[in-house]
Amino acid sequence: MQYVTNLFRTTARELGRATLVLVPGVFATCAWAAEPSVPYVPTPQEVVERMLQIARVTAADYVIDLGSGDGRIVITAAKKHGARGFGVDLNPERISEANANAKKAGVIDKVAFYQRDLFVTDLSEATVITMYLLPRVNLELRPKLLDLKPGTRLVSHDFSMDDWKPDAHVQMEAKEKYGGSGGKSDIYFWVVPAKVGGVWQWEIPVSGKRQGYEVALAQKFQTISGSVKMAGRNVSLQNPRLRGDHISFTFTAQVNGEAVKHEFTGKIEGETIAGVARLSGGRIQAQLDWSARRAGKTARIGAAAPFASVVLDTSR
């Protein structure tokens, strides 16, 4: 509550500083291209460091801060972790300050700050997106974030994404919060999930015969559920898991009268999944290449690439 109050106090202060250009009798407009949808409140440095730690930022990352303020998140990502990236902010004063801070920190070869609306910013290069916005702004951004490359990590200070539950949530004390009065900070973390809903089909050789499988997956953000149809029977999936573009699930099904545990793990690439199947139970012990296709335009049972590397198949 105190935070929201502070945010709105800050908004008034920020907007008060914007130069008004008055054209008598015609219109009044702001010197910025658009008004910020969120006021400037910096993330305390200790929270910045924790956010980057939770997202496991490394030198391989490209970090984009949406509404970058004085640039501290992207600058810290570059200085402490060797990452590259950029920040965008609507307020030109913040952009000058952030670029000056990047220069002072010796990271202008890695980062830059642009005066730009976060809603029209191209995010395709990002491996990590950071935000300290507001709940309604997070929600407005959500479709754009869900369309990013699967596996892109998102970290938000203080605000969640409604029914898109975070993959991790940490709360910490932050002494520097609200200009030094101190308070709690929430950090929310998500991994953008691949779009995996639909029907997937494949075949694998089991006991010397090619066996067809069909899995129907329902998806809500990173949560998946479903069942598999095999030899005319339906079985529920156990432990279905989706993390970015990695999927795994298991089920137990009867093969020649014996209960056989099936474990699948793979990487989703558009309309295909490629990975490994492990079968165990009765006389069957096998590890096989697994390739599934989404049913639809391109999918047919048996359309999957030939399977290779049967490590061990003791079945007859």
Ligand X SMILES: C[S@@+](CC[C@H](N)C(=O)[O-])C[C@H]1O[C@@H](n2cnc3c(N)ncnc32)[C@H](O)[C@@H]1O
Output the DSSP codes for 151-162: T-EEEEES---T
Tell the residue number behind the tokens 């494949």, with chain if given: 202
- Closest to ligand X by CB, 70 vs 245, is 70
Closer residue to ligand X (CB): 72 or 84: 72
Residue of minimal Cβ distance to ligand X: 67
Phi and psi angles of residue 45, each rounded to the nearest 5 degrees, phi first? -55, -40
Residue 27 C-beta: closest distance to ligand X, Å: 21
Residue 40, judged by CB atoms within 10 A of its CB (0-12, 13-18, 19+), counts as buried
Distance CA 74, CA 98 (A): 9
Binding residues for ligand X, per CB under 6 A?
36-38, 40-43, 65, 67-69, 72-73, 88-91, 94, 117-119, 132, 157
Which value, to the nearest 10 degrees, does the dihedral of the CA atoms of residues 308, 312, 314, 316 take? 10
Q: Rank residues 42 and 244 by Cβ distance to ligand X and give the closer one.
A: 42
Residue ranges of E strands in the chain = 20-23, 27-30, 62-66, 84-89, 111-115, 128-131, 153-157, 168-174, 183-191, 198-206, 209-220, 223-230, 233-236, 238-243, 246-255, 258-269, 272-281, 284-294
For residues 21 and 31, give the distance between their C-alpha atoms in angstroms, rounded to a whole number. Answer: 7
Residue 105 Cβ vs ligand X, minimum distance, rounded to whole Å: 15
Closest distance of CB 112 from ligand X, Å? 15
Nearer to ligand X, 68 or 207 (CB): 68
CB nearer to ligand X: pick between 116 and 262: 116
CB of 41 to ligand X, least distance (A): 4
In a 13 Å sphere around the CA of 19, the CA atoms on its Cβ side amount to 7
Least distance to ligand X from the beta carbon of 32, Å?
9
Least Å distance between CB 199 and ligand X?
A: 39
266: nearest Cα among 224, 301, 236, 231: 224
Return phi, psi of residue 34, to 5°: -150, 160
Q: Is the CB of 96 or the CB of 314 nearer to ligand X?
A: 96
Calpha distance 261→280 (Å, rounded): 5
In the complex with ligand X, which residue's Cβ is closer, 72 or 293? Answer: 72
Least distance to ligand X from the beta carbon of 183, Å? 14
Closer CB to ligand X, 117 or 313, in the complex: 117
CB of residue 104 to ligand X, shortest distance in Å? 16
